[in-house]
Amino acid sequence: MVLFTADWCRRCLLMFPTLNNLDLEYKDQFKFYTVNIDKELDITTRYEVSAVPTTIVFKGGHLMTTYMGANPLRLKALVEQYK
């Protein structure tokens, strides 16, 4: 799971505790990463991220789904769906 964020995004900041909790809960089942859209333009462009926060789930190197928004319950649901 990759969370695309920006330093200026307040909703993104609210997602960090959720991501940290999910990382602890699913430690050996799921990997979590963040990408700052202002610092990683190549990755942001490659995955056509146009709003933050955006979460992309990959499985086996393949893009499974993209979610735009800051709903902690939705992130947990995505983990459950793709673990």
Which residues form the catalytic set? Answer: 9, 12
Round to whole Å and give the CA distance between 24 and 29: 10
Residue 47 burial class via C-beta count within 10 angstroms: exposed 0-12, middle 13-18, buried 19 and up: middle
